[in-house]
Amino acid sequence: MITEVINDERANELLKEFNCSINDYKDNPFSHILMYDDKGIIVYTKIYDRVEIEYIIVDKQYRRQGIGKSLLNYIINNNTDTINITLEVKESNIEAIKFYEKCGFEKVTIREKYYGIENGILMIRKFDKNEQ
C-alpha cells in the first residue's frame, strides 16, 4: 500500500543512501514523500502543473518486483493536472535509464557534472491532456 510519509524512521533509512532525510523536505509545501509498504519510497516536488522526481529508492532486497513502477504510476495517475514529470539520473545508471524509458520518459539533455564529476541526464515524461 502506498502512503504519505510525514515522519518515518524507515523512510530516513532509505533516504540515507543519498545523504538526505525527511527533514530536508518537511518544510517545503510543494514536496511529497510516499512509501510503498516500507519497501520503497518516492520523493517528488509538485509546483502547479509540473512534477519533479527527486528520488525513487527501493530497498535492494525488493528490487525487480514492480515497487518502483507502482510508485511512479501512483504519481502519474494521481496528478491528472500535470503536464510533465521530470527527473535527473546519473549517466552511468543504465538500469534506471531503461526503467524510465519503459515508463514513457525521454532523454532531453545532458547536464554536465550534475553529480559532481559525473554527468546527469534530464528526462521528461510529457502528458497529452487527452490521455488523462
Q: Per-residue confidence at 23, pLDDT binned at 50, 70, 90?
A: confident
Same domain, 92 and 32: no
Same domain, 59 and 41: yes
**DSSP structure string for the chain:** -EEE-SS-HHHHHHHGGGT--GGGTTT-TTEEEEEETTTEEEEEEEETTEEEEEEEEE-GGGTTSSHHHHHHHHHHHT-TT-SEEEEEEETT-HHHHHHHHHTT-EEEEEEEEEETTEEEEEEEEE--GGG-
Q: How far is CA 108 from CA 38, 105, 131, in A?
A: 32, 9, 21
State the pTM of this model. 0.85
Domain range enclosing 95: 84-132
Same domain, 127 and 75: no
Boundary (domain end) residue, out of 49, 64, 82: 82
Q: Is 25 a catalytic residue?
A: no
Catalytic residue among 88, 91, 114, 115: 88
Average pLDDT, integer, range 34-55: 92
User: How many domains are contained in the chain?
Assistant: 2
pLDDT digits (tens, 9 = 90+) for 101-121: 999 999 999 999 888 899 999
Smallest Cα–Cα separation from 68: which of 43, 46, 88, 51?
Answer: 43
Residue 7 has what pLDDT? 66
d(CA 52, CA 54): 6
Q: Per-residue confidence at 132, pLDDT binned at 50, 70, 90?
A: very low
Q: Is 62 a catalytic residue?
A: no
Residue 78 has what pLDDT? 87
Residues 9, 95, 113: CA angle, nearest 5 degrees: 85
Same domain, 91 and 76: no
